[in-house]
């Protein structure tokens, strides 16, 4: 069975990496975390509490688009906050399926309390992510309710993919 290329998207702390990795293992395809494709300068900027600009993200998006073109099947955990970012990724892989980890600010902020060792872990940065977020429409992504536990979120993703 051929699996589509999947982007698990949403703001920081929404579960993109956790769910994306579990989903990829379940489907038997590779998982990539878009955070691993940021330049050292971008990581330092975010670690200092400063949000990235569109210019900061340009090379990162190009690298992700090349990854999508190169891999026959994958799950990519990627914020994809803006519609133009999602459009850029879809240009590289027209069959791309977006799963939007949909949750409110308070739910995600409460999860930060349990998060360790991540350079992106503050209320100010999360507020910026919500300000930058252009929520995808139903024709652009499948919304996944993240208020349930990890297994429930994974089940929603699998159901959305017809698994």
| Cβ count within 10 A of residue 110 | 10
Please give the tally of structural domains in the chain. 1
Q: What is the pLDDT of residue 53?
A: 87
Domain-located, residue 155: yes
DSSP 137-158: PTTT-EEEETTS-HHHHHHHHH
Q: Which residue has the tokens 């990162």?
A: 60
Domain-located, residue 85: yes
Residue 146 neighbours by CB under 8 Å, 6+ apart: 10, 14, 15, 101, 102, 103, 107, 108, 153
Mean pLDDT of the chain: 90
Domain-located, residue 1: no
Q: What CATH number does residue 20 fall under?
A: 3.40.50.300
| Residue 24 domain boundaries | 6-160
Domain-located, residue 86: yes
Domain-located, residue 62: yes
Domain-located, residue 17: yes
pTM of this prediction exceeds 0.85 = yes
pLDDT per residue over 63-122, tens digit each?
999 999 999 999 999 999 999 999 999 999 999 999 999 999 998 888 766 655 544 556
């Amino acid at each position: 069975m051929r699996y589509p290329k999947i982007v698990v998207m949403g703001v920081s702390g929404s579960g993109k990496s956790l769910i994306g990795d579990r989903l990829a293992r379940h489907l038997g395809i590779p998982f990539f975390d878009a955070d691993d494709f940021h330049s050292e300068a971008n990581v330092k900027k975010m670690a200092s509490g400063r949000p990235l600009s569109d210019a900061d993200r340009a090379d990162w998006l190009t690298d992700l688009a090349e990854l999508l073109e190169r891999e026959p099947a994958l799950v990519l955990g990627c914020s994809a906050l803006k519609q133009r970012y999602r459009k850029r990724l879809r240009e590289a892989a027209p069959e791309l399926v977006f799963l939007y980890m949909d949750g409110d600010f308070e739910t995600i902020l409460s999860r930060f309390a349990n998060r360790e060792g991540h350079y992106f872990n503050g209320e100010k940065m999360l507020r910026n992510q919500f300000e930058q977020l252009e929520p995808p429409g139903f024709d652009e992504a499948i919304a996944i309710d993240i208020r349930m536990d990890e297994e429930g979120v994974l089940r929603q993703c699998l159901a959305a993919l017809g698994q």
